[in-house]
């Protein structure tokens, strides 16, 4: 293993540690389903890095509940899609990871597994088996299918927003179209056209973030156009861009946030709250009671917070 590459243990321990510190008390999910465990028609797969933005899977479940659908949130490092191993070119391990995750889904006998992460989406598509007993799609697809039901429950959200999107392949183009369709359905919301809102690759990843100059251009434009917020399709984009509020005064919202506002679903944004504190020391101070409650080593958490929140 290269000395510049963090170990899987380091990465997953950061996900587990920071994930627990940021998780609201009412955030519940399972890491694996035992044989003869609970069954669920719908599963939201909780990707590893989505642990840092727990409000995203929480809102996904609450929005589904507004449609009248119940679901199980399943995931975390224990059900990782293998993208990390793919990135580090451990191809045999990657395949084993994806297969293990999909085998785990089968125990709940779902008819649909919903991704919120584009990497997981790609992985489960690549490693799907013949006669797979469940359908798999990005959650935006299900929201669009039930948009008429959602629209009946929406109230006005008076914000001017710029949609940020990724279009590198057909799946991401579909997500972008779905997000636009959902945003256009929200009364009062004004979508502003912008020239610099396209992100690189599948999403704004920690390992391949949007170039700093491009990011600045996107936020400069948003500020100049008088946008209240940039709306992003993925939790990874949200994590990458949140900090720009500090310099540009333009908020960053996951599109679930806007749906939640429209549907009167209250929510908090622990990641953004921490990132807005501006530095690791302030975050540690804010998290100290929970660090102590969980019995974590503060020095270890300090390193993890730097890696997860200030990357």
Partner 1 sequence: MTEWTAVGEEQKFGEGLHPITLGRRQVVVARLSGKLFAFDALCPHAQGPMDRSEVEGAIVSCPLHAWRFDLEQGGKELHGYRNLTVHDIKVTDGQVLVGMRE
With binding defined as CB under 8 A, does residue 12 bind partner 1? yes
Is residue 32 close enough to count as binding partner 1 by CB under 8 A? Answer: yes
Q: How far apart are CA 172 and CA 211, in angstroms?
A: 19
Establish if 287 lies at the interface with partner 1 (CB under 8 A).
Answer: no
Q: Which residues contact 178 (CB under 8 A, 6 or more apart)?
A: 138, 140, 141, 143, 144
> Measured from the CB atom, is 101 or 189 closer to partner 1?
101
Smallest separation (angstroms) from partner 1 to the CB of 258: 34
CA nearest neighbour of 30 among 134, 123, 108, 125: 108
9: contact with partner 1 by CB under 8 A? yes
**Among the candidate windows 35-43, 78-86, 154-162, 242-250, which touches partner 1 by CB under 8 A?**
78-86
Beta bridge partners of 165: 198
Interface region with partner 1, contact rule CB under 8 A, candidates 12-20, 57-65, 231-239, 296-304: 12-20
Task: Pick one of 69, 93, 171, 185: the residue that binds partner 1 (CB under 8 A).
Answer: 93
- By CB under 8 A, how many residues form the interface with partner 1? 17
Interaction of residue 171 with partner 1, rule CB under 8 A? no
Residue 36 lies near partner 1 (rule: CB under 8 A): no
CA atoms within 13 A on the CB side of 67: 21
Nearer to partner 1, 90 or 220 (CB): 90
Does residue 35 interact with partner 1 by CB under 8 A?
A: no
Binding of partner 1 at residue 296 (CB under 8 A)? Answer: no
CB closer to partner 1 out of 14 and 137: 14
| Residue 256 contacts partner 1 per CB under 8 A | no
> Is 174 an interacting residue with respect to partner 1 (CB under 8 A)?
no
Q: Which of residues 94-113 bind partner 1 (CB under 8 A)?
A: 96-97, 100
Binding site for partner 1 (CB under 8 A): 7-9, 11-13, 16, 32, 77-78, 80, 85, 90, 93, 96-97, 100
């Amino acid at each position: 293993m290269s000395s510049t590459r963090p170990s899987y243990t380091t990465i997953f321990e950061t996900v587990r540690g920071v994930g627990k510190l940021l998780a609201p008390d009412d955030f519940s999910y399972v890491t694996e389903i035992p044989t003869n465990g609970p069954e669920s028609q719908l599963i939201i797969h909780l990707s590893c890095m989505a642990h840092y933005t727990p409000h995203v899977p929480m809102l996904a479940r609450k929005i589904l509940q507004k449609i009248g659908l119940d679901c199980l949130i399943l995931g975390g490092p224990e059900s990782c899609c293998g993208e990390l191993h793919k990135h580090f070119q451990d191809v045999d391990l990657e395949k084993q990871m994806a297969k293990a995750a999909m085998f785990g889904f089968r125990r709940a006998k779902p008819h649909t597994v919903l991704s919120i992460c584009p990497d997981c989406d790609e992985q489960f598509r690549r490693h799907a088996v013949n006669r797979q007993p469940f359908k798999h799609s990005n959650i935006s697809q299900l929201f669009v299918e039930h948009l008429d039901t959602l629209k009946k429950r929406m109230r006005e959200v008076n914000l001017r927003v710029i949609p940020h999107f990724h279009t590198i392949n057909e799946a991401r183009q579909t997500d972008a179209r779905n997000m636009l369709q959902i945003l256009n359905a929200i009364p009062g919301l004004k979508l502003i056209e912008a020239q610099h809102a396209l992100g690189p690759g599948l999403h704004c990843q920690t390992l391949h973030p949007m170039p700093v100059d491009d990011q600045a251009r996107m936020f400069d434009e948003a500020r100049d156009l008088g946008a209240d917020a940039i709306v992003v399709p993925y939790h990874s984009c949200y994590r990458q861009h949140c900090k720009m509020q500090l310099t540009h005064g333009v908020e960053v919202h996951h599109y679930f946030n806007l749906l939640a506002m429209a549907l009167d679903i209250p929510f908090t944004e622990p990641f953004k709250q921490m990132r807005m504190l501006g530095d690791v020391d302030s975050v540690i101070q804010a998290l100290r009671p929970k660090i102590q409650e969980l019995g974590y080593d503060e020095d270890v958490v300090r390193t993890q917070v730097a890696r997860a929140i200030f990357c």
